[in-house]
Structure 1
């Protein structure tokens, strides 16, 4: 294992130094390891030593990049939120025609296995309930996700004034997130229903010509 600042070599090769791992890569590896540990073990049980080791570093790398375990938890959630929004933004474009929007939504919400992501979100939600000091960060990140989905919804409908969502756009965006989250949550009881299919069915059922 290594920490972010890797030492110089000694002996015959002491004139050569071992390349330092870029800081951005160190953070990304720690965030990935942290997300996996929190989802599988829970925030309370996950140990920083184990997270650092899984990322290939010593514990010092954690404190070189995050001020505390709580800071790591918050950054893990922010990374997860950003990954979801980037995935949606890559697929949901304003030039998508109404006839194709169902298939695009189906791909956007169903392109990845969300079980690990939802396990992490569930643990972070429980952690926020048990640790009220973390709740504002949890709320901030969830609002960021909802705001991102609302922005996509407003942008697409602005480009397609001939279509009617049948309800306020903010409500429609909230339903999209809720349908996805609810389907993932209840997947074991729904014969592993695909969230993409459920959300796409909602979109196709609601959108109508004006």
Structure 2
């Protein structure tokens, strides 16, 4: 009869290890700041040794970049789920209101702020920061183009590129100033922008 107590502990799949480290990295960076965060803290939060970090990421900067990429992907994925071509013109403002105001963005903004500060202090990271922010803006622009392309009955009151930039910029600004704007819902403000910009085609 085999002794279960002596059986080897199943090895955690590499993909799971990496995901747990990314989640832990996001938590630690948001709480302690990228500069103050230690890889030992990230590893411990994920339930691994520091060696697991270095077996999955080439450096702290690589971990920062991958945590930011995961965050960027999640934001775009959440927008893509709700802003679809089949959303009627009379419902688009409500959809945008839900997309930008349906959850607390404070933690997400704390992360973006940390990434921006890290890029300012580490110029070699700035190109990666710019690439990912451009990826976010381009993703929002793709959604704007997709929706307007499916709704020839309406037109925007500004260039689509500017409209996409306003949506992202307004959201970032409102979340940044949230402590000074008690009770202001980013979703409601951005929905108002959409209602002001989208108009029947003449």
Q: CA offsets per residue over residues 155-184 of structure 1, 9 Å max, x none?
A: 000000111111111110000001110110
2:7 is aligned with 1:16 = yes
State how 1:61-140 maps to structure 2 within 5 Å.
61-140=52-131
Give the Cα–Cα distance (whole angstroms) in 2 for the partners of residues 153 and 111 of structure 1.
Answer: 19
Mapping of residues 127-206 of structure 1, within 5 Å: 127-206=118-197
Separation (CA, whole Å) in 2 of partners of 1:91 and 1:42: 31
Question: Whole-Å Cα distance in 2 between the matches of residues 39 and 101 of structure 1?
Answer: 32
Q: C-alpha distance in 1, partners of 2:192/2:151?
A: 19
C-alpha displacement at 1:14, in angstroms? 6.9
Paired position in structure 2 for 1:49: 40
1:192, 1:20 → 2: CA distance? 48
Match of 1:36 among 18, 27, 32: 27
- Which 5+ residue runs of structure 1 have no aligned equivalent? 1-10
Aligned Cα root-mean-square deviation (Å): 1.3
- CA 37–206 in structure 1, closer or farther in 2 if over 3 Å, else same: same
Runs of 4+ in 1 over 6 A off after TM superposition: none
TM, length-normalised to structure 2 = 0.96
CA deviations on 1:7-35 (whole Å, 9 max, x unpaired) are xxxx9447632221121111111111111
The count of corresponding residues between Structure 1 and Structure 2 is: 200
Cα distance in 2 for residues equivalent to 1:87 and 1:208? 25
Question: Which is worse superposed, 51-60 or 34-43?
Answer: 34-43
| Greater RCO, 1 or 2 (C-alpha within 8 Å, sep 6+) | 2
Structure 2 residue runs without a partner (length 5+): none
Displacement of 1:198 = 1.0
1:192 offset after TM fit, Å? 3.9
Cα distance in 2 for residues equivalent to 1:168 and 1:161:
15
